[in-house]
Amino acid sequence: MNQPRPRTPVLAASLVAGLAAAFAVTAIALPATSYAQALAPREVPAKTIPVPNSVSPGIQKLIAQPLSPVYNDIPATAEGWKAQVAAVTAATMKGVPALREALHVKSEPGVIAGVKVNILTPASIPAKNRNRLLVHVHGGCFVNGPGESGTVEAIMMAGFGGYKVISVDYRMAPDFPYPAALDDSVAVYKAATTMAKPKNMAIFGSSAGGNLTLAMVLRIKQEHLPMPAAIGPGTPMSDLTLSGDSFQTNAMVDNVLVAPGANCDKRADLYMAGRDAKDPMLSPLFGDLHGFPPTILTTGTRDLLLSNTVRTHRKLRQAGVEASLQVFEAMSHSQFSRDVNAPETKEAFEEIAGFFDKHLGR
């Protein structure tokens, strides 16, 4: 006796086809007015963002801090900027000796190639690092961080990573705009290559220091100098045109930089001194990144420069460069270097140190 064919597969096929049709994405040519509407900015309702419990108590305290009190304080004169820098420097220096002591790092001022530097040496250097040397370029939006106040990140790298570090105390705006900081940093690197083999060296720095790290490599390429074995630009100011998405999405969420066009960007304007922000030596994101050494980038999910960091990472990968991106939960700009006791701080610097260890010769 003939059995009727089961209809379930047919029904299932019909259902699948129907669902596929319902959810298919079809390319439709929109009228000009509809296209403009599709590209309209998105309105986001006001909301309260809690301090997450997914990070350590130390980082929670950083996240809970109010917005930087000077984020929109824009001095009208060079003297006003210098007074603001002096106040920040004095506040920073209150913690520097204790930081050095906690990480057992010695600091010595010096001059290399006519440029002021601070040399950071850990009490104990592992055998594998004894022929290695790091060059550090500090942050501060091209205006802050003179003298030892610019060595916090270098102290942490020396202490957590066990490397000897030369921190460049480069000339800064408003007295010395571009290219002074870049010239000084490249001069120190060039001299440092006579102290250690370039294959045993790395360059690192965050924020403006991240910008300078990248710009230094562009200059090193341009001048046909020997490349370092690796670089570590943290949350780099790699796009001074402020075109990245997170300049908007993280505005008023990042409690360090806070918003685009505020104090930090005005300091960057002092550095640029009217030059085109798209110049790759000012905004390295727009430069040719082919031939760059292996690179590790660091940022946080609340960082105003999250997009700067992500876009730099993608452009390096597109150029065939080995690039690693570490993104920390809920951190604002450079907060991975603001609490020496937070486990995330140790983790961030040990990640960078491990990346350098992988690529530096001995």
- Each as own residue / partner, the long-range contacts of residues 266-270 (CB below 8 Å, 24 or more positions apart, any chain) are 266/74, 267/81, 267/140, 267/141, 267/142, 267/143, 267/144, 267/173, 268/141, 268/142, 268/208, 268/237, 268/240, 270/81, 270/142, 270/143, 270/173, 270/174, 270/177
Hey, which bits of the chain come out as E strands?
Answer: 105-112, 115-122, 133-137, 165-168, 201-206, 230-234, 295-300, 323-328
**pLDDT, tens only, 63-98:** 999 999 999 999 999 999 999 999 999 999 999 999
Q: What is the DSSP string of 107-156?
A: EEEEEETTEEEEEEEES---GGGTT-EEEEE--STTTS--GGGG-HHHHH
Strand partners, 136: 167, 204
Domain ranges across the chain: 72-359
Provide the residue-wise pLDDT of the chain in tens; the chain has 362 residues: 444 444 444 444 444 444 444 444 444 565 666 666 678 898 999 999 999 999 999 999 999 999 999 999 999 999 999 999 999 999 999 999 999 999 999 999 999 999 999 999 999 999 999 999 999 999 999 999 999 999 999 999 999 999 999 999 999 999 999 999 999 999 999 999 999 999 999 999 999 999 999 999 999 999 999 999 999 999 999 999 999 999 999 999 999 999 999 999 999 999 999 999 999 999 999 999 999 999 999 999 999 999 999 999 999 999 999 999 999 999 999 999 999 999 999 999 999 999 999 999 99
Q: Please give the CATH topology (third level) of the domain spanning 72-359.
A: Rossmann fold (3.40.50)
Instruction: Give the largest Cα separation in the chain, rounded.
Output: 102
Strand partners, 230: 202
What's the predicted TM-score (pTM) here? 0.90
**pLDDT, tens only, 285-315:** 999 999 999 999 999 999 999 999 999 999 9
